[in-house]
Amino acid sequence: MNQHLARIICAIILVITSYQSVQAAANNFTAQQIRTGDNLLGILKRHGFSTREREQVLGSDVGLRRLFLTLDTRYLVRRSSGETELRVFDSQTSDAFRIIKRGKTIQAFKYDPKYKITSMRIDGKVHGSVLGSILPKINSNWVATRFMDAYVFDVKSFRSLRRGAPFWFTVEKKYEEGQFVKYGEILQTSLEIDGEVVRKKFMRSKDGGVFFNDQDLLEKRVFFSPVNYIKIASKFQPNRLHPITRRRVPHLGVDFELPIGDPVLAAKKGVVVRYGNNRAAGNYIVLRHPNGVESSYNHLYKIDRRIREGLAVNTGDKIAEVGCTGYCTRAHLHFALKIKGRMVDPLKYIKPYPQNMHSMLASQVARN
């Protein structure tokens, strides 16, 4: 091929590619599905980020290294001439990030999406497990487990629900740049338990929120929730398989799943009997309450500076922050209750809300 012809061909190719770039620039974000086994590295690789660029992105913000993605979340991609932008949304927390590649320059930072939120209603009947009854209608483990969270104080075992028990709920759908990216909270729920329809409403607080109905305020339970946001990762199971060692190890407390740094509250007025660090519990605190009751809080990130043996704390005082120290795969609070030397199921003894929400919920009930 002579040089002249080669130059003409090159010019034509240039015209075609730049035309395509102009076309792409006119396009907005497209939403992309998270694939099984995906993580941020895989997504960046798929969109042309080199090894060095991927490392640069991960080094830009700790939240990006901790990013947790599930199949019900989408991410956004926009490509224009010489620029690629990704927007990624943590499936578990409200964290969102913009990742921009412009030529050789990489920028990655946290941002506040201005979500457009709609709500959607799902109706169904329980056949088999609750999870198995919800997932065919809305393919999101998050949504299905949030529904179960709403009833965790009311239903002893979800397996005991009557076959065909009707349920419904409304759930938030979050849109960014006109695209659906993730589900939000379940807002209202209804479930038939032992022939009775039990409804719940998600009540937001300044730093959390709980599922609630008027009956919950009449609960005689003397302890309060030790966290502002109740998301159950693992229940009290005297005979369970340990997630790490795969051996049968009883789980003698309840695990509340929360981001690192969220406050841990004293479930009731008491005195610090022990605190410190050990291999399994990580950083922990044990409080003693009247009548031979002890509450314990494990896997803490930070123990409050005031904590000393013998220190008296009030119900709802912040005593520590949620972490993942000791035997732990994901940030959570392991909360346990011991009554007269025996470990009991904490969910049978705590109210379904923290102490600081009591007056807000009481005024809500008064209005109804």
Q: Which residues bind Zn ion (CB under 5 A)?
A: 253, 255, 334
Distance from C-alpha of 271 to C-alpha of 273, rounded to nearest angstrom: 6
CB neighbours of residue 33 within 10 Å: 11
Amino acid letter at 195? G
Residue 333 beta carbon to Zn ion: minimum distance, rounded to whole angstroms:
8
Which residue, judged by CB position, is nearest to Zn ion in the bound state?
Answer: 334
In the bound state with Zn ion, the residue whose beta carbon lies nearer, of 324 and 365, is: 324
Tokens 């849109």 map to which residue? 175
Q: Which is nearer to Zn ion, 10 or 280 (CB)?
A: 280
Q: Find the largest Cα–Cα distance for the chain.
A: 96
Residue 244 CB, nearest approach to Zn ion (Å): 12
Specify the pairing of strand 270-278 against strand 332-339. unpaired
Q: How far is the CB of 236 from Zn ion (least distance, A)?
A: 9
Nearer residue to Zn ion within complex by CB, 90 or 255: 255
Which residue, 253 or 354, is less far from Zn ion as judged by CB?
A: 253
Find the helix or strand (DSSP H, E) in which 149 lies: helix 141-150
User: What dihedral do alpha carbons 188, 190, 191, 194 form, nearest 10°?
Assistant: 130
Q: Which is nearer to Zn ion, 100 or 249 (CB)?
A: 249
Write the burial class of residue 360 (CB in 10 Å: 0-12 exposed, 13-18 middle, 19+ buried). middle
CB of 297 to Zn ion, least distance (A): 11
Euclidean distance between CA atoms 74 and 97, whole angstroms: 13
